[in-house]
Amino acid sequence: MRFARFIVEKRWLILVLAVVLAVLSVFGLKATKINYDILTYLPGDLNSVVGEKALDEDFHIASTAMVTVEGMSNSDILKLKEQFKQIDGVNKVYWIDDIANLSIPKEMLPEDLKNTFYGKESSLIIVTFDGSTSSESTMGAISQMKKLLQKDCLIGGMSAVAEDTRDLTDSQVPIYILVAVILVLIVLFLGVDSNITPFLIVLGIGFAVLFNFGSNVLLGQISYVTESLAAVLQLGVTMDFSIFLIHRYEDEKLRLGNKEDAMTVAVARSFVSIFGSSLTAIAGFLALCTMSLTLGYDIGIVMAKGVFLGVCSTFTILPALLLIFDEVSEKHKHKTLIRPLTKTFHFIVDHHVAILLFFVAVLIPFVYGKNNVKEYYNLIQSLPADLISVQGTNRLKDDYGMQATDFILVDENLKSSDVVKMTSELESLDGVTLAVGYKDYVGGEIPSDVIPDDIKSLFVSGGRQLIIVNSEYIPASDEQNEQLTKIDNIVKKYDEKALITGEAPMNKDLVTIADVDFKNVDTASILAVFVIIAIIFRSVSLPIILVLAIESAVMINMGIPYFTGSTLPFIAGIVIGTIQLGSTINYAILLTNRYREEMIRGYEAKEATRRAVEVTSRSIFSSGLAFFAATFGVSVYSNVDLIKSLCLLIARGAIISMIVIMFVLPALLIIFSKFIEKTSYHWLIPSRTLAEDISLESKEA
């Protein structure tokens, strides 16, 4: 109560401090780096990652762009090549003139050389960079290269994709937030009886969002996925706390008549329940930190921090705003449209057995759907097809058979004869369109001493020599992964310490660890939420019942894409379950807590459930619809399939969880009421605060 009184008395000081911290957060936000390359989050001990590091440190080609030019003369291409060399961040630029005399007709060039630099209608320029794939210097260089490209000239490769992803994300994230805020305000106007209060709620959460993004500078960098989702998720998840506090504040004002006293009591009496509810969301997000793919750590830490800051804002900044603008809010009242559906709740209670049986019958096909939904791992598929990097990458596939390019690093001292045998075996594999290394050139028509040092350094460095393999199979496809297994078997015959890297091998590793990550995250989130609920209610049975209710909602949500024929990004299967569980379990906790209070007041299970559902319905509906609105708008607007799919799943999950809590959980509470009482410690003994309320109700009666 002292803390609550301090908040009420020092409301102006709190607001001033909030503004100061917000200004500092802006500087932190601008200083936070954004990573646009998901593959960098793979575990560092994987062979593909070790190989990628060797490409970067020894060969300086980990970040490479492929420029395809059409309709240009040799002299124009040479001029463009020289212009590329002058760009800051560019390391080296390679074209056919570095190896062969341009006076030699391309038909007379060695087959491997010709296939490397000439496509159907285009010619290929290879550009390497000083920085990593998604470093500022590399993306800045690509941005400058784009300005030099003529019509029908395209740029492809992972670095180009990262640069396009940055531009797309930077332009869309502010719109994501704007759309989310507008739709959330609409929902709040329906559920809150003042025209001013919705703006105060969003402003209070806005401070917390800004604090969260500003403090990300302490992490060094965050992924573009986190940047795209964090603000919208934080708005949706922490909206619950604000709505719960405001509804309690309104009730206390009616009872006490004084706004300062009402806010003091509202903060004091809602602190434990809101903070306890927030722990489930925090635990859910922290469960993502168990992923081997450290993208989970990235999302988990940022969102857990965001929820915590959201709670802090709910109990400090929001009360200050509500008290300061209380008179204005009171002057602009309106009727709320989100109201308890009393007749519906009577029907739910009276037909709880039938509702539960119907739900179980409906759930079964969705369980099957969830286990058989298709996923994709090649994240280029999530980007709009009209991006120049996607078009450029598609041209590499069509003209050069470069659906995927693998980089094989073998011992520098490996015999020339063995290298020739190896590349011959590799080229014989189904789907391999090219397998070429430095010693192919040395042993061919071109003498070794004619090959420039730049070309030698491209293929030999750091005690290793490089072999490049092009495949017509799509990265992360079953065919590509099977091909990589065969490539590995061939290469290891000649050099057991050989490394295979590139987009396709890294995607194959992504496929391997994703299944493990899903099981780890799913188990960790369920256990964490289970323990928290067990502590909150001091019960063994309630954690099972509440988690089962939300997990069934997750099953339905994740099963729908199977029946709609949708293919999900792999990350969705890993993170959606824990996000939906951690974010919407609060609805179940709120309803169950109120059910317990009504049982303590002496009502039988059916009546206690009906009263609990009716009292909590406005808060649950408002919270669920606000969470839906915040994420659904982004799913409609975004043209990045990864973001679009995640937001659609989260939005749909909020609605499904809300429906399950309002219709199915009451049936479970009624059916298992005796079992809950026997497996819960002091289930019907009121807390001091509840005892005071019951005593006050008795006196008023």
| CB-based contacts of 220, cutoff 8 Å, min separation 6 | 32, 33
pLDDT at 519 over 90: no
CA distance 150 to 18: 50
302 or 619, higher pLDDT: 302
b/e burial code for range 158-188 (CB count within 10 A of at least 16 → b): bbbbbbbbbbbbeebbeebbebbbebbbebb
Which one-letter DSSP state was computed for residue 159? H
Highest-confidence segment of 75-89, 150-164, 571-585: 75-89
Query: pLDDT confidence of 405, banded at 50, 70, 90?
Result: confident
Q: What is the pLDDT of residue 548?
A: 94
Q: State yes or no: pLDDT of 462 exceeds 60.
A: yes
Q: Mind listing the pLDDT tens digit for each residue in 325-378?
A: 988 888 888 777 777 677 777 888 889 999 999 999 999 999 999 989 988 887
pLDDT of residue 483: 92
Is 453:490 a contact under the CB 8 Å cutoff?
no
Give the mean model confidence (pLDDT) for residues 585-590.
88
Is the predicted pLDDT of residue 701 greater than 80, yes or no?
no
Average pLDDT, the chain: 86
pLDDT at 121: 80
- Regarding predicted confidence, which is higher, 558 or 433? 558
The band of 514, judged by pLDDT with boundaries at 50, 70 and 90, is: confident
Judged against a pLDDT cut of 90, whether residue 1 lies above it is answered with no
CB 436 within 8 A of CB 468: yes
**pLDDT for res 699:** 52
Q: What is the mean pLDDT of residues 63-92?
A: 90
pLDDT band at residue 439 under the 50/70/90 scheme? low
| DSSP string for residues in 339-351 | ---HHHHHHHHHT
Q: Is the pLDDT assigned to residue 563 strictly greater than 60?
A: yes
Residue 444, pLDDT score: 46
Average pLDDT on 604-631 reads 89
Give the list of residues 6+ apart from residue 288 with CB closer than 8 angstroms, or none. 296, 297, 299, 300, 303, 521, 574, 575, 578
HSE-CB at 398 with a 13 A cutoff on CA atoms is 12
The predicted structure's pLDDT at residue 607: 92
Q: Would you state the pLDDT for residue 675? A: 94
Which range has the worst mean pLDDT, 164-178, 443-457, 673-687?
Answer: 443-457
pTM of structure: 0.85
Average pLDDT over residues 568-574: 84
**How many other C-beta atoms are found inside a 10 Å radius of the C-beta of residue 44?**
10
Rounded-to-integer distance, Cα 545 and Cα 465, Å: 59
Mean pLDDT of 440-450: 51
**CA 530, CA 125: separation in Å to the nearest integer?**
56
d(CA 176, CA 387): 20
Looking at residue 103, its pLDDT comes to 81
pLDDT class of 40 with cuts at 50, 70, 90: confident
Distance CA 44, CA 34 (A): 19
Contacts of 535 (CB under 8 A, 6+ apart): none
Residues 6+ apart with CB under 8 A from 307: 234, 237, 238, 278, 281, 282, 285
pLDDT band at 454 (very low <50, low <70, confident <90, very high): low
- Alpha helix stretches (DSSP H) within 36-73: 47-54
Q: Over the stretch 182-206, which tens digit does the pLDDT of each residue have?
A: 999 998 888 788 889 999 999 999 9
Each residue's pLDDT tens digit, 636-657: 999 888 889 999 999 999 999 9
Kindly state the average pLDDT of the residues 49-57. 84
Predicted local distance difference test score (pLDDT) of residue 305: 95
Is the pLDDT assigned to residue 451 strictly greater than 60?
no
Task: Check pLDDT > 90 for residue 458.
Answer: no
Our CA dihedral for 234, 237, 238, 241, rounded to 10 degrees, sits at 180
For residues 286-309, give the mean pLDDT: 91
pLDDT over threshold 90, residue 218: yes
| pLDDT at residue number 315 | 93
User: What was the pLDDT predicted at 700?
Assistant: 52
Number of CB atoms found within 10 A of residue 47's CB? 17
* Dist CA 643 CA 152 (whole Å): 30
pLDDT the model gives residue 651: 94
- Mean pLDDT along residues 229-257: 86
Place of tokens 């929902």: 187
- Locus of tokens 């794939």: 133
Strand partners, 94: 126
Q: What percent of the chain has pLDDT over 90?
A: 37
